[in-house]
Amino acid sequence: MTLLIPPRTQDIGFTVKRLLPSRIKQRVGPFIFVDHMGPAHFEAGTTAGDVRQHPHIGLATVTYLFSGAMMHRDSLGSVQRIEPGAINLMTAGKGIVHSERLPEDIREQHDTVEGIQTWLALPTAVEDCDPSFAHYAADEIPSVNLPALSARVLIGSAFGVESPVKTASKTTYIDLSLGAETKYQPDFPQQELAIYVAWGNVTVNDEPVPEYHLAVLDEHAVISTVSGARILLLGGEPLDGERFILWNFVASSREKVRAAGERWTNGGFEMVPGEVEWIPLPTMS
């Protein structure tokens, strides 16, 4: 283990635990943003938890729910309900706008909403690509069950199976459930890797990794459990060059993120069909 990153609490309409970017580590492979959303409940007849339309450039968002559901809408005209176990991949490229709202049945039933949202920074060669949207239902995501370990291979290849999710650079993203007194040593040459502990007692090379912490791994990392755990293994090939972040924008230059902010303020993005509410560019100190 090379770094241990604690969560920071953020309020985006509901509470999230933010791991990346952090002051000590901006990204792991292409992962430049990691949020653990919830668990949370929302009152019927309200809009609590809804995220109004907002823009992105230079990244791909990946939404993966443990429970509940969300409704995705974007400026391409995509409308998609996201259910637990599915992968929702939205590639922003040169610019996209989307909203994320709670379905009425989730509010009415007072269902728990919980999941992981990440951003993948795009390689510089394709950061200005046309935006796109892809959704992969839960039954399209391959799973593997071993005696002391079960895995869902969300992105990439592992345990002899390959995810259908296509990304702009080599990426690994695996939902792992480990049994009691289990050891697992990841083997992904030339990739930067980290684990996020969603729950359970975990050590890396005999050093404890508390729940809700992100541990950046070295190439000889051995992950061990005492009484079982659920972890997310994430990473991929390192990206070339620097990345700059301004609000929801990621790019290889400061000029690009600043220009995106001005473009949003001046109404230069295509908006989500049928929506009128939008989030203004925050005042940056």
DSSP calls for 80-128: EEE-TT-EEEEE-TT-EEEEEE--HHHHHTT--EEEEEEEEEPPGGGTT
pLDDT tens readout for residues 223-245 = 999 999 999 999 999 999 999 99
- Residue 251 is inside which H or E element, if any? strand 249-251
- Residue 64 is inside which H or E element, if any? strand 59-67
CATH architecture, domain 3-236:
Sandwich (2.60)
- Residue 56 is inside which H or E element, if any? strand 51-56
- pLDDT of 101: 95
Query: What percent of the chain has pLDDT above 70?
Result: 99
- pLDDT of 285: 53
- pLDDT of 45: 85
CA 96 to chain centre: 17
Whole-model pTM: value is 0.96
pLDDT tens readout for residues 16-26 = 999 999 999 99
**If we measure between CA atoms, which residue out of 59, 61, 96 comes closest to residue 75?**
96
Sorted by where each begins, the domain ranges of the chain are 3-236
pLDDT tens readout for residues 242-277 = 999 999 999 999 999 999 999 999 999 999 999 999
What's the full length of the chain, in residues?
285
- What burial class does residue 165 get, using C-beta atoms within 10 Å of its C-beta: 0-12 exposed, 13-18 middle, 19+ buried? buried
The pLDDT confidence band at residue 49, using thresholds 50, 70 and 90, is: confident
pLDDT tens readout for residues 135-192 = 999 999 999 999 999 999 999 999 999 999 999 999 999 999 999 999 999 999 999 9
Return left, alpha or beta for 104; rule: phi > 0 is left, psi -120 to 50 is alpha, else beta. Answer: alpha
